[in-house]
Structure 1
Amino acid sequence: MNRIKTLWVIGLLLVQSVWLSPAGANELPAGVLRAGTLANQKLVRDTMVGVVVQVSLRGCDKPTAFRPYVLAMPTGPVGSRHWVEEWVVSGCNREYPLTIDFSEDGLDAANWAIRPGR
């Protein structure tokens, strides 16, 4: 249980870093529509829990920063829109690109799913 608490704290620190620093460099990686995220702060915080766990499973227990990018703009009617982002997590002398599917679940909720790793 202590490991989960540690990962949660790391996740919260990473959430703060995205709001306090620029989303990325002037040049965008291939396939990226724009730097930043379309998720609100609560959705970012919720998603970050899974992001930190996923990066931990890939071998890094100490992620230090992340850069979100939009890969696909929202499609569908309001309340059931879907979009795709890539969050590049840095830590342990490596980068971990994670592709995340977001989908609205009504007007005040959204779900996220991290695609299987590369």
Structure 2
Amino acid sequence: MRSYALLLLYPLMWQAEASPNEPVQEGTLANQQLIRDAMVGVAGWVATKGCDAPERFVPVVLQRPEGEPGSRYWQERWTVTGCGNDYPVVIDFRETGMESAMWTIAR
């Protein structure tokens, strides 16, 4: 699933040498519009795993942004809690210009 929305990168603080599945930052780099857009797909993905009632999500950045402004990409994991379980959803984000971005559920 893909969606376009404005992108806002917050100041970043990195941990040294994180592994590919270890967070480099708590929170998300997406703005509220991009979060809402991606959450539709995330909720659908969680529903395919048997939970139609997600209660909350906790995002972490797995890969810091790389590339040139307007075409940067990064990866986050949003752990969705609901139906008595946790569902880790890995999302790839990519800027599609200076004011837009798309997302794809990686796994």
Following TM superposition, the consecutive aligned residue runs of length 4 or more in structure 1 with deviations greater than 3 angstroms are none
1:88 to 47, 65, 79: 79
How many angstroms apart in 2 are the aligned matches of 1:115 and 1:93? 23
The answer to whether the aligner puts 1:64 opposite 2:55 as a matched pair is: yes
Give TM-score scaled by structure 2 length.
0.79
Equivalent pairs counted in the alignment come to 87
Pair 1:41 & 2:36 matched: no
**Larger helix share, 1 or 2:** 1
Per-residue deviation at 1:34? 1.1
> C-alpha offsets along residues 43-72 of structure 1, whole Å, 9 cap, x if unaligned?
001000000000001100001000000000
- TM-score, normalised to structure 1, is 0.72
Unpaired runs of at least 5, structure 2: 1-20
Ranges in structure 1 where 5+ consecutive residues have no aligned partner: 1-29
> Residues of 1 paired with 2:103 and 2:62: CA distance?
14
1:99 Cα deviation from its structure 2 partner = 0.3
Equivalent of 1:76 in 67, 80, 83: 67
Q: Which amino acid aligns with 2:24?
A: L
The separation in 2 between residues aligned to 1:76 and 1:34, in whole angstroms, is 18
Q: RMSD value over aligned CA atoms?
A: 0.8
Cα distance in 1 for partners of 2:39, 2:85 equals: 18
For residues 101 and 63 of structure 1, the distance between their equivalents in structure 2, rounded to whole angstroms, comes to 21
Letter in 1 for 2:59: P
